[in-house]
Amino acid sequence: MGRAIIISLDHDTPGNPGSLSAAYSTGVFEVITEGTRKQFKPTEQECLRACFLRLDEEFQEYITLDEVSADCFNVFVRACESGLTEYQASGTTAWGFKQEEAWVRSNAWEWSELIKKLHADPRYLPHSQE
């Protein structure tokens, strides 16, 4: 069964592609989402809850970022970027499982593709603009 990260569901804005999301196998989804979750700071727990609401509290097979504020969206992006950096450096999942190099490369590629999609969202502010 697949899982998804929904970035945007904007079907009403002229010139907008309608929706932006990424679908993953359960294993890749968990590596990315739990690695990202681990990077949220104690002061960002409200944002963490908003980002993971569907998965954690509504027991859905996805997370959705389409309703979070621009500030919260950018907190998620930074956590996602930091999670990828940590995962690539250690080869270890957020729950402490050391993965083989081939899995790390594959998961890191999927993760970096997600980050590209996050950067394409109009809410994204590059580090220098925060």
- 113-123: per-residue pLDDT in tens? 999 999 999 99
How far is the CA of 59 from the CAs of 49, 53, 75, 117, in angstroms? Answer: 13, 9, 23, 24
**85 neighbors 104 (Cβ within 8 angstroms):** no
- 14-69: per-residue pLDDT in tens? 555 556 788 888 999 999 999 999 999 999 999 999 999 999 999 999 999 999 99
Q: What is the C-alpha to C-alpha distance for residues 31 and 16, in angstroms, rounded to an integer?
A: 29
The Cβ of residue 36 has, within 10 Å, a number of other Cβ atoms equal to: 27
Query: Model confidence at 128, in pLDDT bands (50, 70, 90)?
Result: low
Predicted pLDDT of residue 19:
66
Return the amino acid letter for 96: G
**77 neighbors 20 (Cβ within 8 angstroms):** no
Q: What is the C-alpha to C-alpha distance for residues 35 and 41, in angstroms, rounded to an integer?
A: 13
Residue 72 pLDDT greater than 90, yes or no: yes
Structural domain harbouring 103? 2-129
Q: Looking up tokens 């679908």, which residue turns up?
A: 23
Report how many domains make up the chain.
Answer: 1
HEC-encoded secondary structure of 13-72:
CCCCCCCEEEEEEHHHHHHHHHHHHCCCCHHHHHHHHHHHHHHHCCCCCEEECCCCCHHH
